[in-house]
A and B are shown apart, each in its own frame.
Chain A
């Protein structure tokens, strides 16, 4: 909806809300990218990740407050209403993504990098790459309110689920064969966190679809054969 409101202050409010969400999305994405780097590079700093996480939390609150204010003052309708009402929901999904990223790094910092762990890390790198693509695409679909792209993300998460399932089984089998080590337990957590980030991308995609079309994506989402 590029059409402008007769009351320009309403457009300014909407712009501000959009900016807050964009900023939050960018922060969540940079957190996650730092995580991916951190998987293969131990030297990634935990401190900056934690301070970014605080910023993400603060933005979530700000978005919530802004939403309440716009609803109270502007009484939005139709497309505006859908855009505004979904903002805090999207913000909370982004906050979760930030949180899971932080947890991944915490787990990663507990892992010793021994020769045998490298293979696990490589597998984690594979699924984190898929998750990153989902995140980049869903943020793009949000910025451009592109429902068909959102739908692709929504459908694409099935690939992440499938890959996660494979990685999970491999790590699990190794634990059965060779006995479990802290590295493997941490790796299982990391894999699960990455898979959850994909789920949140899907949830954001659903919101984008709703903003544009006024209805939820209601067909059954394709599911990979998943033991989890």
Chain B
């Protein structure tokens, strides 16, 4: 395994329950800084649930309970003193379905920096918006229509708008839950290229059902099955010579 240069997320003995049901079973994993990690596994295995433990999005789900320890940048994020609002800026999230606010393109991006107090005046805010849209590879396409509604963009553009919105608040980590499943191959390629670009600055964790996508974009891959972490290692190893027969069967599309 190529060694993780610097760990940014450390999960230690994490279990997640929905009421009585255990969805995640005692998972420990280290995620490297400024890299792309892919979470793969069959539907219902717990990828989204586990992803959401990293920015406490599970807190919003009634009856959901977590055990174990998750640290981000050395900080125990489940500590009583942690405020989830800045946490979710630091650990941003992009969802399967692009979900821009029903506001202007400009407002979609400016909203976060404004509430987090990242800009002192309008011109600073303009700069942040331009920088985020540029970072998301969308600036050239929207610079002349910043006052149009975010929902007037195409699906692929909307997803890049959501990425711009996420990076505008200067996160360290971006969680992506099947960010391309609603996009065509061209829009998907753009997001993938963008991810590689962004991983120079940010840590990205992506849940994907596309084996090709996981293989193309990530350096590390984690395979989940029935709430367990079955195998975690270099993406190149996982896709050429997986160690676990369950991983082998899943990525080869075989009946398990």
Contact = CB atoms under 8 A, between A and B. Distances in A.
Interface of A: 1, 3-7, 10, 75-82, 213-215
Decide if the interface of chain B is mainly helix, strand, loop or mixed.
helix
B231 to A, nearest CB: 11
B211 interface: yes
Contact of A81 (B240, B249, B254): B240
Contacts of A78: 239-242, 247-248, 251-252
A3 B255 contact: yes
Given A75-B212, A77-B211, A7 B239 contact: no
A152 B135 CA distance: 56
Nearest to A3: B254
B253 interface: yes
17 contacts: A3-B255, A4-B254, A4-B255, A5-B253, A5-B254, A5-B255, A6-B254, A76-B252, A77-B239, A77-B252, A78-B239, A78-B241, A78-B251, A81-B240, A82-B240, A82-B241, A214-B240
A215 B241 contact: yes
Given A1-B252, A6-B254, A80-B252, 19 more contacts: A1-B248, A1-B254, A3-B249, A4-B254, A5-B252, A5-B254, A5-B255, A6-B255, A7-B253, A75-B211, A75-B212, A77-B211, A77-B215, A78-B241, A78-B242, A78-B247, A78-B251, A81-B240, A82-B241
A76 B253 CA distance: 9
Interface residues of B, number: 15
Nearest to B241: A214
A6 B239 contact: no
Contacts of B251: 77-78
Contacts of B212: 75
B207 to A, nearest CB: 18
Given A75-B212, A77-B211, A6 B240 contact: no
Contacts of A214: 240-241
Nearest to A85: B240
Contacts of A4: 254-255
Contacts of B254: 1, 3-6
Contacts of B247: 78
Contacts of B242: 78
Contacts of A5: 252-255
Interface string B228-246: 0000000000011110000
B215 to A, nearest CB: 8
Among A1, A6, A78, A214, which residue has the most Cβ atoms of chain B within 10 A?
A78
A14 to B, nearest CB: 11
Contacts of A3: 249, 254-255
A4 B249 CA distance: 9
A66 to B, nearest CB: 18
Given A75-B211, A77-B211, A78-B248, A10 B240 contact: no
A7 B241 CA distance: 21
A215 B247 CA distance: 18
Max chain B C-beta neighbours (<10 A), residue from A75, A82, A215:
A75
The 5 residue pairs across chains A and B that have the minimum distance between CB atoms: A214-B241, A3-B254, A77-B251, A78-B248, A80-B252
A218 B240 CA distance: 17
Nearest to B249: A3
B208 to A, nearest CB: 14
B248 A6 contact: no
A215 B249 CA distance: 19
Most chain B CB inside 10 Å of its own CB: which residue of A10, A75, A77: A77
Nearest to B215: A77
B38 to A, nearest CB: 13
A70 B253 CA distance: 14
Contacts of A6: 253-255
A9 to B, nearest CB: 11
Interface in B186-217: 211-212, 215
Given A214-B240, A214-B241, A215-B241, A79 B253 contact: no
A78 B243 CA distance: 10
B248 to A, nearest CB: 5
Contacts of B255: 3-6
B162 to A, nearest CB: 28
A130 B241 CA distance: 34
Q: By CB atoms of chain A within 10 A, which of B211, B247, B251, B254 has the most?
A: B254
